[in-house]
Structure 1
Amino acid sequence: MKGVSLKGTITKNKLTIFSCVAIVIIVSIVLYYLYNLKFNELAIPIKDIYAPGDGRFSIAVVKMIIDGAWSFLVPFSPHLNAPFHFQMYDFPLPFFSNFVYIKFLSIFSSDSVVVFNLYYISTYFLNAFTMFWVLRRLRVNVYLAISIGILFTFLPFHFWRLPHTFYSGYCFIPLWIYYLLLLTNKKPLFFKKKVGESKYSFDWSKRNIIIILVMLISSTWNFYYTFFFTFLIGFTLLSNFVYRNSKYHILSTLIFLSLAVAPFAGNMLPYKAYEIENGKNYQVGQRDPISSETLGLTVATLVFPVIDHRVEILKKLSNNYAYKSLLFNESNDATLGLFGAIGFAILIFSIFFYSLLPRILSRLSQLNLFVLLFSTVGGFGVVFAYVITPQIRALNRISMFIAAMSFIAIAVVLNKYINKTGNKKQAVFMALSFFILCFGVFDLVSTKMNLEPVDKFKTEYLSDKNFIQQIESKFDVSSQKISIAQYPYLSFPENPGIHTMGNYEQFQGYLHSDKLYWSFGAIKGRPADIWWKGLNEKSIEEQIQTLQQAGFSGIMINRNGYQDNAKGLENKLIQLLGAKPMISENKIVSFFRLYPTSNEIRFSRIAFNSFYEWEGEPGKFRWAGDNANISLFNDQGSSKTNNISFTLGTLRDRSMVIKLNEEVLESFEIKRGESTQHTFNLKLNPGQNILKFETMEPARSPGGADNRKLAFSVGEFVYD
């Protein structure tokens, strides 16, 4: 018996190795021949990823992770937001394990572009491997599992998520679906009962330990996917309560839920701690709940052919729908392909024939229906956005859960019926799997899916690289801190850009230098943003003087940000500095050298924290959220006195305490619909002073289309 077991294990291991090698070879061939991926050009950004949008931002995040010791907790860099510090607390990126994986890839290269390319390419293999593993656990034939796994990784969603790079690795989703199936088995997942005993005990089996470890890692891989997964766990909890009515099934599901939520909550902890300490930044990352409608999922997208299909008649069908749709956006990337659509149809019809089908299809059909009702246009996800929070808006991204369930469904059905063909079943499996693989890839990979570097952005990348290196060579970066001001000023993140300059185009300096310090990266609404906006209101002569006092050694101008191609600004600087600029090869960027006189930063006198933007003229009227305060800066070496006056209003009756540096200035009541006048003569200490507005009543939404959380309003603001 032992010999047979050993022989079986060896055979199984050989089959696994064969399968993995086959997947690697086939995926590589598809990437090379159909996607035109140049494996020998990994030092050049693939496709158009260097375009001045989310792709360039993603490369910058990769560089932060490579350069920073603990930047996979909260991405940061001392080389951005000069003369301040760049941190991402106001724009959370809770991708902890994703970032750890990127850090691991940096072992092979310190070049951010190389690591970025390796990361994205590796997701094609990871997605295929995990789907293959799940299908094999479900006893699907090895050839069929290989072909379905490869189709799963070449879904159009994968290719078009390139700019949103951290969504391309959806490798954990098949595992999650498999674990949800285990939760509804007759035996509770995390508990066991010995023969002859009536009580259950926790099952510390090797399988469960692996599940726990996978959950701890995967729950911080991608917050969107974790959010969707949490909802599915909740649905499974309800299902176990109704159908199993066993406390051990319910307890297993609750343990599973905690394994998904707790690590994610830990990942969000640094962001929330910063928010509590510094106030919520209502100028960053605020979402409109209607976006959940416009970025929702449509059934037509799931079942229609891929846009720009290789077959003309199918191309006309899909393009005619997609380009005329009122919802033409990233939701059009959710195409499942022919075989995925068949699997999806199987799950839909399984709802109506629940008792006649294998249990696995019944479970998958329930999960699929729940996902569909939640994510579809006008579905419960939109209700969630309006009633709970609109921060999870791109509901179409749940399509990868539908894809995983659909591919599992068609694989299980085919496996069941081919196994009934008798002695010829292996030949049938091989022939059908080969057909599914070839036709499926042909069906999914459109004519527009090409990973070869776009010439325009390849030229821009090389031009920027050479130019930044020329700038760096002008300075002794080993003994001096060299700061470069970038013009025109653009705050971070999610700005629409200026003229033809993209919102993240100014990451170019940071991406091509390890020694220089760049001004781009001032977070909207924070003191650095206010400082730069105040600087831009001054004359160019005053700006140069202030920059040199703040320690800047140069100005880099992006001509795309000016209607006149920056001719007016450059002419003024030539006259003022008495020197002509350096100009990049592609004529887009120019550079003027400055000579710093000190490292003194004069803060703007005032900064509003946890406030929404001014409505109308600055000082006229604005709303505050929870924990609102005003930072008042005194740049003198001794105390000084300033006068401040403003009116306060509220949507509901509330008590209020105003404090300066924790010293109470006034306590009072505000009535709804009334306005109160307040005037103070403030004694400011050197440095930063905090004027707090404390109230016990939380901020609330006014209702209707306005989803902001409003506590009180400030108007007629005067500070001198």
Structure 2
Amino acid sequence: MNRLASRFPLLGRIATINVFACLISILVSMIVCWYGVGMSYGRADVPFMYEGDSLQYSYVLEVQKAGSVSRIDLAGAPIGTDHLDFPNADYANHAMANAVAAPGDFGHRYNRMYLLGVALTALAGFAVARRLGIGVALSVAVSIVFSVLPFHFLREQHLYYNNYSAFALTLLIATWTYLPADPNAPERSRTWRWLSVAARTAILLWIGTTGIYFGFFACVLIGAAGILGYLQFRTASSLRRMLVSIAAIVLCVTVQLLPTTLYRLENGRNDRVAVRTVAETELFGLKIAQMLLPVQGHRFEPFAKLRERYDAVAPLNTENSTAGLGLIGAAGFCLALLALLVPAFRRRLPQQAQFAAMTVAILTMFATIGGFATLFSLIVSPEIRAVNRVSPLIGFASLIVLACAVQLVATTYKRRWLAPLVAGLMVLIAIPDQMPDRRRMLKERHAAAIARFDSDRKFVIDLRKQLPPGASVLQLPFLEYPETVTPIGHYTQLRNQLHGLDLHWTYGAMKGRAASNWLSMLVTRPAAEAVRLFESAGYAGVVVDERDRTPWINEFLRELAATHALTTVISSDGTQTGYALKDPKTTAPALLLALGQGWYVREDQGGGRALIWSSGDASVHIAPVAGGRSGCSLNLELGTVVPRHIELWVDGNLAAQTEVRPDAPAHVALPVPQQGAAIRLKTTPAAALPGNGDTRPLAFWLALGDPVLCGGAGRRY
């Protein structure tokens, strides 16, 4: 009893030391990253990245905060859109990001979420290092060096990837999977065992909900750990733990992707979004040289020039250039390989360090260009293409090997001061080594971001004053979303959505779906016809990005000004011009006809006639404007090159079916409800090459009529 009581003060002191050391790790890491991305030069309400992917992250988060990504009214006006074709498995990140700021406060949200990701990474790095037997001082060093990898400074646009805490936890789970249970360990109580199960479950849930890449790499490493553990120790428990862990992660990812899966089953797969190829796995693969070379823009000029020499001659320099490990990580990487090649050295390391060395080799062989990831892409699926993103996990395993080697030397030679000394040197070397010297660039970038942010916000405020509440605004030029290269920069038009959450904008309509197809059609029509469609859709304003103003836009605005008095609003930086209808008429109820999935490009037949071929099953979307119009019908003319059967499903119900022959096009009339409808055309036999030299598999053609089905400023057909 006295012995037990005497242990409590000791346990309390140990816990206090660990908590204090962990807080130091978190604080130092956050300060370094706060400075390294230039937040010290910025403003708290302005995101430190106000361009590119950072705008998309902010847009998706605002949409989620407002409701759901399955129905988005902020973009794709007047039809609306969704974000289900661009799936993710980031529910934990979404929840945290939505919790750290109010709707519309996207600048604070972005900055806070970045720092929160750094803090969580430092926390996980310290906790896992301690759990793997690393001393307090070296655990602090491992945590800080891991949290300030070049990845954290060079991948700043990819907000969620900066929370790579899941990688540290992955190594912990994989180590538990690999190592057999200690037969000499004291028996744990039932409560302790349940707590252990709960902790492991929570870790697996975290890994499975912080990004699909993190979950995938975890499954790769845990799978290897289970197989190697069984072969090394001949214990089936390694295989059982492997299967349970992988099943838990796969289940998490599957649940998160379920909305996308159901959406694709109902609407067909969108072959224009997130289409990945085997070649991209090679393009975005890992390169050992990039991991070991100094970071781009290194503070030490000879190192910077060495990296410049490599980048000037080496091919396939893509986002994999962010995979550097720094001097400390590179030392651990080399030690890991040495441990695998020199059995005498390996046997002196603890088993968890031996497995960390194996992790370095396993993941490097998997992710390197031409490695096992390429075979996975070729045989299984090319969806996981950017395998270079595993580099922080390789870096963490390398740091664990290095820390264990330092502890081995300190213990062997009885130098207790060695571990704290090396820990301090690791931190002092890693921070300037891993953080590129970008001070001038960061100052200029933040000054420009603040100016653009203020200009964009004032522009939307001024434009809103000229528009009716909840107005729809046409953004020109029309740009497809997502992943489209444009002269104005990808995702730039989302700045309007972020500052004008109460309006309905056009940019952001998912390409390949109804809203995007309708808008794409609008901007290819003659200007006078486009104005009629503009009126029928109920738009109350236009915003033009001046950096890509085209002759068609000028002609469209002249036609619009000929029939409507316009109020002009110009942004202070001159990049945007808004045109608001001074006296917008009450929008007439209408139904718009938009092509959905499964169609090729429009083909003009002359004489004002046009048709479009399907690649198989296809869809048509009828969208209401101003409440829709009753008493409308959709008259379809369908043709084919081989006899076929076509079924027409309206909102999931079979409404009509017809036989189509090459010499006898079919005509089908469908009544359309006032609120619009989703119409799916299903055909048999499957699409095939027509045999006339056309390389496209063709099913049936549809004669195109007026995109304003009825009502509005259009005619009925």
Are the equivalent residues in 2 in contact too, given 1:615–1:622 (CA < 8 A)?
Answer: no
1:270 Cα offset (Å): 0.6
Are the equivalent residues in 2 in contact too, given 1:282–1:612 (CA < 8 A)?
Answer: no
Q: Matched residue of 1:163: which SS?
A: coil
Partner residue, 1:671: none
| Equivalent in 406, 417, 423 of residue 409 of structure 2 | 417
Normalising by structure 1, report the TM-score: 0.86
Aligned amino acid, residue 2 of structure 1: L
1:613 Cα offset (Å): 6.1
2: CA distance, partners of 1:545 / 1:585: 31
User: Are residue 436 (structure 1) and residue 426 (structure 2) matched?
Assistant: yes
Partner residue, 2:709: none
Greater alpha carbon shift after TM alignment, 380-389 vs 395-404: 380-389
| Equivalent in 652, 659, 662 of residue 647 of structure 2 | 659
Are the equivalent residues in 1 in contact too, given 2:456–2:571 (CA < 8 A)?
Answer: yes
| Equivalent in 361, 365, 370 of residue 353 of structure 2 | 361
Q: Give the percent of matched residue pairs that are identical in Structure 1 and Structure 2.
A: 22
1:663 Cα offset (Å): 6.3
Report 1:481-492 matches (<5 A): 481-492=470-481
Please give the per-residue CA displacement for 1:327-386, whole angstroms capped at 9, x wherever unaligned: 121101100011111111122222223474232233223332221222111112112222
Report 1:389-538 matches (<5 A): 389-422=381-414, 424-425=415-416, 427-448=417-438, 452=443, 453-475=445-467, 477=469, 481-497=470-486, 500-538=487-525
Partner residue, 1:554: 541
Are the equivalent residues in 2 in contact too, given 1:583–1:589 (CA < 8 A)?
Answer: yes
Report 1:318-337 matches (<5 A): 318-337=307-326
User: Are residue 713 (structure 1) and residue 701 (structure 2) matched?
Assistant: no
1:216 Cα offset (Å): 1.5
1:639/1:118 CA distance change after superposition, 3 Å:
closer
Are the equivalent residues in 1 in contact too, given 2:528–2:556 (CA < 8 A)?
Answer: no
Aligned amino acid, residue 679 of structure 1: P
Please give the per-residue CA displacement for 1:436-465, whole angstroms capped at 9, x wherever unaligned: 111111111111377555322321111000
User: Are residue 78 (structure 1) and residue 77 (structure 2) matched?
Assistant: no
Please give the per-residue CA displacement for 1:578-614, whole angstroms capped at 9, x wherever unaligned: 445111101111111121431534323x625245668
Partner residue, 1:131: 125
Are the equivalent residues in 2 in contact too, given 1:551–1:600 (CA < 8 A)?
Answer: no
Partner residue, 1:11: 13
1:22 Cα offset (Å): 1.7
Partner residue, 1:186: 180
User: Are residue 93 (structure 1) and residue 88 (structure 2) matched?
Assistant: yes
Partner residue, 1:27: 29
1:575 Cα offset (Å): 4.5
Are the equivalent residues in 2 in contact too, given 1:343–1:410 (CA < 8 A)?
Answer: yes
| Equivalent in 664, 667, 673 of residue 681 of structure 1 | 667
Aligned amino acid, residue 424 of structure 2: F
1: CA distance, partners of 2:156 / 2:590: 39
Greater alpha carbon shift after TM alignment, 298-307 vs 451-460: 451-460
1:641 Cα offset (Å): 4.2
Q: Matched residue of 1:685: which SS?
A: strand
2: CA distance, partners of 1:616 / 1:294: 38
Partner residue, 1:374: 366
1:657 Cα offset (Å): 4.8
1:307/1:86 CA distance change after superposition, 3 Å:
same
1:32 Cα offset (Å): 5.3
1:615/1:334 CA distance change after superposition, 3 Å:
farther
Are the equivalent residues in 1 in contact too, given 2:170–2:207 (CA < 8 A)?
Answer: no
Aligned amino acid, residue 90 of structure 1: D
Please give the per-residue CA displacement for 1:447-501, whole angstroms capped at 9, x wherever unaligned: 1377555322321111000110112233453xxx32222112122111222xx32
1:8 Cα offset (Å): 1.2
2: CA distance, partners of 1:11 / 1:569: 74
1:614/1:346 CA distance change after superposition, 3 Å:
farther
1: CA distance, partners of 2:621 / 2:122: 55
Q: Matched residue of 1:557: which SS?
A: strand
1:414/1:289 CA distance change after superposition, 3 Å:
same
Normalising by structure 2, report the TM-score: 0.86
Partner residue, 2:194: 205
Aligned amino acid, residue 18 of structure 2: T
1:552 Cα offset (Å): 1.9
1:566 Cα offset (Å): 6.1
1:183/1:284 CA distance change after superposition, 3 Å:
same
1:181 Cα offset (Å): 0.6
Report 1:100-139 matches (<5 A): 100-106=95-101, 111-139=105-133
1:657/1:366 CA distance change after superposition, 3 Å:
farther
Are the equivalent residues in 2 in contact too, given 1:646–1:716 (CA < 8 A)?
Answer: yes
1:504/1:565 CA distance change after superposition, 3 Å:
farther
Partner residue, 1:266: 255
1:678 Cα offset (Å): 7.1
Between Structure 1 and Structure 2, how many residues are aligned?
674
Partner residue, 1:607: 595
Greater alpha carbon shift after TM alignment, 483-492 vs 253-262: 483-492
2: CA distance, partners of 1:494 / 1:292: 17
Report 1:46-57 matches (<5 A): 46=48, 49-51=49-51, 53-57=52-56
Report 1:299-314 matches (<5 A): 299-314=288-303
Are the equivalent residues in 2 in contact too, given 1:188–1:252 (CA < 8 A)?
Answer: no
Please give the per-residue CA displacement for 1:277-323, whole angstroms capped at 9, x wherever unaligned: 11111111111220111110011011111111111111111111123
Q: Matched residue of 2:248: which SS?
A: helix
Partner residue, 1:62: 61
Are the equivalent residues in 1 in contact too, given 2:639–2:664 (CA < 8 A)?
Answer: yes
1:211 Cα offset (Å): 1.0
1:504 Cα offset (Å): 1.0
Please give the per-residue CA displacement for 1:128-155, whole angstroms capped at 9, x wherever unaligned: 1211111111221211111121111111
2: CA distance, partners of 1:43 / 1:127: 24
1:417 Cα offset (Å): 1.4
Please give the per-residue CA displacement for 1:164-209, whole angstroms capped at 9, x wherever unaligned: 11111101111110111111222299xx9979xxxxx998431221
Are the equivalent residues in 1 in contact too, given 2:89–2:253 (CA < 8 A)?
Answer: yes
| Equivalent in 375, 379, 385 of residue 383 of structure 1 | 375
2: CA distance, partners of 1:716 / 1:571: 35
User: Are residue 38 (structure 1) and residue 40 (structure 2) matched?
Assistant: yes
1:696 Cα offset (Å): 9.4
Q: Matched residue of 1:456: which SS?
A: helix
1:104/1:433 CA distance change after superposition, 3 Å:
same
1:309/1:613 CA distance change after superposition, 3 Å:
farther
Please give the per-residue CA displacement for 1:19-71, whole angstroms capped at 9, x wherever unaligned: 1332244234424555542287211121xx212x2121112123223333xx4
2: CA distance, partners of 1:647 / 1:116: 54
1: CA distance, partners of 2:187 / 2:5: 29
Are the equivalent residues in 1 in contact too, given 2:298–2:304 (CA < 8 A)?
Answer: yes
Greater alpha carbon shift after TM alignment, 584-593 vs 612-621: 612-621
Aligned amino acid, residue 584 of structure 1: S
| Equivalent in 122, 132, 154 of residue 160 of structure 1 | 154
Partner residue, 2:134: 140
Are the equivalent residues in 1 in contact too, given 2:219–2:249 (CA < 8 A)?
Answer: yes
1:416 Cα offset (Å): 1.9
